[in-house]
Homo-oligomer: A and B are copies of this chain.
Amino acid sequence: MEAATLQKRLGSAMRERRTALDRSQESFADLIKMHRAYYSAIERGERNITLHTMYRVARGLGVSVKDLMEDARL
C-alpha cells in the first residue's frame, strides 16, 4: 500500500475520534501539546508520523494505538 494511503486512513480515523469528542483541532492540539498546524496536517494525511507521535494522539483521544489502527484498518 502507498504511504499516502496509510497516512490518510490514519488521519481520517483520528479526525473521527476527535470530532466524536466535540473538540476543535486547536483545543485538541493544545491538549496534547502539539502545534495546531502540525496536527491539522496529520489529520489530512500529509504526515508519515512516528510511533511516538501516534502514541501522543492516541492518549489524547483516550484510546490505544491499537484502537486507532483498527479504526484505520491497518
Contacts and interface: CB of A to CB of B under 8 A. Distances in A.
Given A64-B74, A66-B66, A66-B74, A51 B52 contact: no
Contact of A7 (B48, B51, B66): B51
Copies in the complex: 2
A64 B65 CA distance: 13
Contact of A50 (B48, B69, B70, B74): B48
Interface residues of A, number: 18
Given A66-B66, A69-B66, A69-B69, A6 B74 contact: no
Given A50-B48, A50-B49, A65 B55 contact: no
Interface in A1-40: 1, 3, 6-7, 10
